[in-house]
């Protein structure tokens, strides 16, 4: 959240600059690994951000907390809680039983809606919990659909290069499309959900709710 706060203060300055050089209505945030967590957080809490692009954010980032314990090799919640200040003190009592949490990360995805969101993940590193990340994206995508903005979210974990935070050819085209659509405002390509079969979550196993319609009267 400290990084998110810092990014928001930068946007404050951009707004005050008058838009002659930088445009406050065309701001995107991105980062990989721990910086992916930061990008995910600021994108959720600052509605001035037009496009949020977290990459391989891992436990305490995009992956649903409830899914992490059952995903072999994913960083345990207790590890993420104690490793760095990713999670508040109150989270400590939930590390052993995340099913009792009143919220989960698909709702953070929903907080970004209807603004642009492109989640990029790596299914080749178990520690990153990409299966749980796909569930978060699929669950959050339902919020986008409810708002009539289903084309504004993208998720991509179907990649070949398993190195952490690598530059990947598979992401080039969808990244360009998202930048054109939300930052340059010169495109209108629909979002794409492309989940690797190696780490594919099943939303139906996790939800007991139906997607409402939140648009119109």
pLDDT the model gives residue 83: 87
CB 113 within 8 A of CB 214: no
Please provide residue 55's backbone torsions phi and psi, each rounded to the nearest 5 degrees. -125, 125
Dihedral through CA 5, CA 8, CA 12, CA 15, nearest 10?
180
pLDDT the model gives residue 150: 97
The answer to whether residue 82 is catalytic is no
Q: Does pLDDT of 84 surpass 80?
A: no
Span 22-34, average pLDDT:
96
Please provide residue 94's backbone torsions phi and psi, each rounded to the nearest 5 degrees. -105, -5
Span 22-36, average pLDDT:
96
Query: Which residue shows structure tokens 């207790």?
Result: 78
Query: Which residue shows structure tokens 């709702």?
Result: 107
- Spell out the CATH class of 2-11+27-202: alpha beta
CB 120 within 8 A of CB 156: yes
**CB 117: neighbour CB atoms within 10 A?**
31
Q: Does pLDDT of 182 surpass 90?
A: yes
d(CA 37, CA 159): 20
Please provide residue 146's backbone torsions phi and psi, each rounded to the nearest 5 degrees. -60, -30
Q: Which of 8, 78, 151, 164 is catalytic?
A: 164
Q: What is the DSSP letter of 94?
A: G
The answer to whether residue 8 is catalytic is no
pLDDT the model gives residue 142: 98
pLDDT the model gives residue 216: 61
Domain boundaries, the chain: 2-11+27-202
Q: Does pLDDT of 149 surpass 80?
A: yes
Q: Which of 8, 33, 78, 79 is catalytic?
A: 33
Among 11, 20, 74, residue whose Cα is nearest residue 43: 11
Q: Does pLDDT of 217 surpass 60?
A: no
Span 142-170, average pLDDT:
97
């Amino acid at each position: 959240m400290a990084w998110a706060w810092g990014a928001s203060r930068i946007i404050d300055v951009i707004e005050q600059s008058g838009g002659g050089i930088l445009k406050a209505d065309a701001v995107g945030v991105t980062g990989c690994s721990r910086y992916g967590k930061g990008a995910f957080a600021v994108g959720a809490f600052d509605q001035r951000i037009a496009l949020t692009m977290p990459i391989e954010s891992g436990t305490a980032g995009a992956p649903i907390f409830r899914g992490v314990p059952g995903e072999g090799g994913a960083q345990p919640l207790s590890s993420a809680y104690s490793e760095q200040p990713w999670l508040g003190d109150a989270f400590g009592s939930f590390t052993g039983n995340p099913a009792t949490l009143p919220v989960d990360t698909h709702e953070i995805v929903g907080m970004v809606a209807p603004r642009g969101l492109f989640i990029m993940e790596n299914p080749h590193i178990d520690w990153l919990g990409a299966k749980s990340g796909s569930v978060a994206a699929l669950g959050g995508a339902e919020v986008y659909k409810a708002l009539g903005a289903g084309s504004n979210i993208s998720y991509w974990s179907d990649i070949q290069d398993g190195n952490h935070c690598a530059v990947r050819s598979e992401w080039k085209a969808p990244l360009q499309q998202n930048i054109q659509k939300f930052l340059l405002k010169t495109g209108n390509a629909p979002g794409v959900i492309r989940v690797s079969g190696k780490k594919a979550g099943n939303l139906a196993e996790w939800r007991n709710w139906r997607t409402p319609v939140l648009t119109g009267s």
